Structure 1
Amino acid sequence: MPILAILIGLLYLSHVEAQPAWVREDLMENCYFNWTVRDRFQRMPMTMGNLIGLIKKVERQPIAYYWDVFTMAANLLRRFQIDGLQFLPLNLGGSIICALHWMLSHSLNDTRRPEEVEGCHDRDGRHKRHAKGRNTTPDYEKSFHPLEYGVVYTDYGTVAAGQVLMGLAVRDRVANVKVADLFRDKSEIVKYLNSEIKMEGWNPIRNNEQRERMQSTVITAYYAATIAGDLAKTAAYDAASANGSQQLIGPSGTWNSLTRMGEHEQVNETSSSRLYPSEYALADEMDRVSHATHAELYGGIDGLLLAVRIKDWNSCSLKLSQILEMYYSDRGVSLNTDRVFGACNRFNLTEAYRAELSSQTHAMAYALYVESFGLLRPPRGSSIISRINESVQKVLQQYWAFVEQSKATSCGTMCRDSKNHPPAPNVDLYVIFDMDGSEQELLEAKEVVVDLVNRLNLAPMGTNRVALNISDNRRNTSTSVFDLGQEFNPGGFAFKLLKTDFRNVSSSFDFGDAMAQVRRRFQEERKFERDQNLGGTNGKVVLFVVPSSKPESSDKGVGTMENMVRDFTNDFPEIPLLFVTKDAGWDRFAKTPTCVAMRVFRNTGERLYRDVIENVPTRMVYPGCGQSISDGKDNIFIGLLVPGTTRYMMYHGSRLNGSENLVFKVKAHDSTSNLTVCWGRYVLDFGRLQPEEDGCGNTSDAKRDKKVMIELKHPCSRNRECDPIYISVRVANDFHPSKEPVCLDAATCHFPDQIQYSVRHSGMKCK
Structure 2
Amino acid sequence: MRVIAFLIGIGIFSCVQTQENALRKLSSGLVECYNSSFVVLKDNHLPYTMDTFIAILRKIEDSPSFNMDLRQFTVSLLHRFRQDGIIENTESKPALGVIPYAPNSFQFYKNAAILKLIQGNALHFPNSSISLLERCALHFILSSTIDFKERGDEPTTCQTQNSQYRWKRNIDKGTGDVETLSPEELEIIKNKNNESKEGDFDPNSFYPVLPPNHPENAQYKQPMTSKCPLESGVIHTKWGTVAGGALLAGIAAALQPEKIRISDLVFRNWRLNENLSDVRVDNKWLATLAGDLAEVVIRQGPSKNLDERFQIGIEGHWNSTVSQKYYFLNEDENVEFTAAEVRGDLDGLILANTVMTWYQSIPSLKLSQIFEMYYSDRGLFNVSTRACDRRALLISVAPNDTTSAQVYAASLALEKDISTVSMSPTLINSLSVKATNELFNFIPSSLNNDLRCDANLRPFNRLAVDLTIFIDTNWKFPAIQPILTLLLENCEINKYTSNFTLINAFDGNVLINSSNNILDFYSFNETQYSSLTMFKNGFDLPKSLEVLKTREEQKLNSEWESKIGGQRSEIVLILPSATASISDSDKTFCLDRLKTLRETVPDATLLFLTPGSKDKWAETTVDSINDIVSFSNGNTKENSAQIINLVNRMKQVPRRLINTQCGASYTSSGNSESYTNYLEPSGITFYRLHPNYFYKTEEENLPTIKIQSYSGTRLTICTSRDPININATSSNCVTTDTHSETIYCPDPTYIHECKPFYLSIAANDHSYSSCNAEPERCRYPDMTKYTISYENLVCVSSASSAIISPIVYFITIMYIYTRH
- TM, length-normalised to structure 1: 0.80
Residue of structure 1 in register with 2:74 after alignment: 73
CA shift in 2, pair 1:238/1:306, >3 Å: same
CA shift in 2, pair 1:10/1:325, >3 Å: farther
Residue of structure 1 in register with 2:107 after alignment: none
Is the counterpart of residue 596 in structure 1 residue 659 in structure 2?
no
1:726 is aligned with what amino acid? Answer: Y
Residue of structure 1 in register with 2:691 after alignment: 653
Is the counterpart of residue 579 in structure 1 residue 613 in structure 2?
no
Residue of structure 2 in register with 1:757 after alignment: 786
Is the counterpart of residue 358 in structure 1 residue 404 in structure 2?
yes
CA shift in 2, pair 1:430/1:110, >3 Å: same
Q: Alpha-carbon deviation of 1:8?
A: 13
Distance in 2 (alpha carbons) for counterparts of 1:165 and 1:358: 22
Residue of structure 2 in register with 1:399 after alignment: 439
Residue of structure 1 in register with 2:456 after alignment: 417
Residue of structure 1 in register with 2:281 after alignment: 219
Distance in 1 (alpha carbons) for counterparts of 2:266 and 2:461: 57
Is the counterpart of residue 322 in structure 1 residue 335 in structure 2?
no
User: SS at the partner of 1:421?
Assistant: coil
Residue of structure 2 in register with 1:153 after alignment: 236
Superimposed CA distance per residue, residues 705-731 of structure 1 (whole angstroms, 9 cap, x where no aligned partner)? x30233445456579952222111111
**Counterpart selection for 1:618 from 655, 678, 687:** 655
CA shift in 2, pair 1:744/1:52, >3 Å: farther
Distance in 1 (alpha carbons) for counterparts of 2:693 and 2:126: 52
Stretches of structure 1 that go unaligned for 5 or more consecutive residues are 130-136, 195-210, 258-272, 379-383, 700-705
Is the counterpart of residue 669 in structure 1 residue 710 in structure 2?
yes
1:366-765 pair list within 5 angstroms: 366-369=412-415, 372-373=418-419, 376=422, 378=423, 384-405=424-445, 408-411=448-451, 413-415=452-454, 417-418=456-457, 420-437=458-475, 439=476, 442-463=477-498, 465-470=499-504, 477-483=507-513, 485=515, 488-496=516-524, 500-502=528-530, 504-505=533-534, 506-552=536-582, 557-582=586-611, 584=613, 586-593=616-623, 596-601=627-632, 602-603=639-640, 606-624=643-661, 635-658=673-696, 660=699, 661-671=702-712, 673-682=713-722, 691=728, 693-699=730-736, 706-712=737-743, 714=745, 721-732=753-764, 735-738=765-768, 742-765=771-794
Q: Alpha-carbon deviation of 1:591?
A: 4.2
Is the counterpart of residue 239 in structure 1 residue 301 in structure 2?
yes
**Counterpart selection for 1:333 from 380, 388, 398:** 380
Residue of structure 2 in register with 1:228 after alignment: 290
Residue of structure 2 in register with 1:381 after alignment: none
Q: Alpha-carbon deviation of 1:519?
A: 0.5
Distance in 2 (alpha carbons) for counterparts of 1:279 and 1:401: 29
Q: Alpha-carbon deviation of 1:89?
A: 5.3
Distance in 1 (alpha carbons) for counterparts of 2:640 and 2:611: 14
Residue of structure 1 in register with 2:802 after alignment: none
Stretch deviating more after TM superposition (358-367 or 106-115): 358-367
Stretch deviating more after TM superposition (565-574 or 590-599): 590-599
1:79 is aligned with what amino acid? Answer: R
CA shift in 2, pair 1:715/1:32, >3 Å: farther
2:56 is aligned with what amino acid? Answer: L
CA shift in 2, pair 1:639/1:89, >3 Å: closer
Stretch deviating more after TM superposition (587-596 or 324-333): 587-596
Residue of structure 2 in register with 1:199 after alignment: none
Distance in 1 (alpha carbons) for counterparts of 2:312 and 2:469: 46
Contact between 2:559 and 2:660, CA under 8 Å: does it hold in 1?
Answer: yes
Distance in 2 (alpha carbons) for counterparts of 1:421 and 1:175: 41
Contact between 2:666 and 2:795, CA under 8 Å: does it hold in 1?
Answer: no
User: SS at the partner of 1:599?
Assistant: strand
Contact between 2:607 and 2:628, CA under 8 Å: does it hold in 1?
Answer: yes
Q: Alpha-carbon deviation of 1:352?
A: 1.0
Distance in 1 (alpha carbons) for counterparts of 2:619 and 2:519: 32
Is the counterpart of residue 287 in structure 1 residue 325 in structure 2?
no
User: SS at the partner of 2:597?
Assistant: helix
CA shift in 2, pair 1:375/1:502, >3 Å: closer
CA shift in 2, pair 1:416/1:533, >3 Å: farther
Is the counterpart of residue 346 in structure 1 residue 390 in structure 2?
yes
Q: Alpha-carbon deviation of 1:234?
A: 1.3
Stretch deviating more after TM superposition (98-107 or 629-638): 629-638
Superimposed CA distance per residue, residues 318-342 of structure 1 (whole angstroms, 9 cap, x where no aligned partner)? 11111111111111111xx5x4212
Contact between 2:82 and 2:245, CA under 8 Å: does it hold in 1?
Answer: yes
Structure number with greater Rg is 2
Is the counterpart of residue 125 in structure 1 residue 194 in structure 2?
no
Distance in 2 (alpha carbons) for counterparts of 1:184 and 1:112: 39
Is the counterpart of residue 103 in structure 1 residue 141 in structure 2?
yes
Contact between 2:719 and 2:757, CA under 8 Å: does it hold in 1?
Answer: yes
CA shift in 2, pair 1:591/1:170, >3 Å: closer
Is the counterpart of residue 307 in structure 1 residue 352 in structure 2?
yes
Distance in 2 (alpha carbons) for counterparts of 1:613 and 1:281: 36
Contact between 2:703 and 2:790, CA under 8 Å: does it hold in 1?
Answer: yes
Aligned residues with identical type, % of pairs:
23
Residue of structure 1 in register with 2:190 after alignment: none
2:489 is aligned with what amino acid? Answer: N
CA shift in 2, pair 1:612/1:8, >3 Å: farther
Contact between 1:681 and 1:691, CA under 8 Å: does it hold in 2?
Answer: no
Q: Alpha-carbon deviation of 1:649?
A: 0.6
Residue of structure 2 in register with 1:140 after alignment: 223
Contact between 1:110 and 1:147, CA under 8 Å: does it hold in 2?
Answer: yes
User: SS at the partner of 2:622?
Assistant: coil
Residue of structure 2 in register with 1:205 after alignment: none
Q: Alpha-carbon deviation of 1:153?
A: 0.4
Aligned length: 679
Superimposed CA distance per residue, residues 600-658 of structure 1 (whole angstroms, 9 cap, x where no aligned partner)? 33236624544421112111112345777769976422111122221111112333321
Contact between 1:580 and 1:597, CA under 8 Å: does it hold in 2?
Answer: yes
2:226 is aligned with what amino acid? Answer: S
Q: Alpha-carbon deviation of 1:510?
A: 2.1
Q: Alpha-carbon deviation of 1:664?
A: 2.6
Q: Alpha-carbon deviation of 1:150?
A: 0.6
Q: Alpha-carbon deviation of 1:170?
A: 2.4
Is the counterpart of residue 24 in structure 1 residue 27 in structure 2?
yes
Stretch deviating more after TM superposition (562-571 or 102-111): 562-571
CA shift in 2, pair 1:183/1:168, >3 Å: same
Distance in 2 (alpha carbons) for counterparts of 1:525 and 1:666: 25
Stretch deviating more after TM superposition (634-643 or 297-306): 634-643
Stretch deviating more after TM superposition (315-324 or 710-719): 710-719
User: SS at the partner of 1:249?
Assistant: coil
CA shift in 2, pair 1:557/1:49, >3 Å: closer
Q: Alpha-carbon deviation of 1:480?
A: 1.5
Q: Which has the higher contact order (CA 8 A, sep 6+)?
A: 1
Q: Alpha-carbon deviation of 1:755?
A: 1.6
Q: Alpha-carbon deviation of 1:157?
A: 1.1
Residue of structure 1 in register with 2:193 after alignment: none
Distance in 2 (alpha carbons) for counterparts of 1:519 and 1:388: 73
Q: Alpha-carbon deviation of 1:495?
A: 3.4
Contact between 2:612 and 2:631, CA under 8 Å: does it hold in 1?
Answer: no
C-alpha RMSD of matched pairs (Å): 3.7
Contact between 2:253 and 2:283, CA under 8 Å: does it hold in 1?
Answer: yes
CA shift in 2, pair 1:428/1:608, >3 Å: farther
Distance in 2 (alpha carbons) for counterparts of 1:743 and 1:432: 39
2:587 is aligned with what amino acid? Answer: V
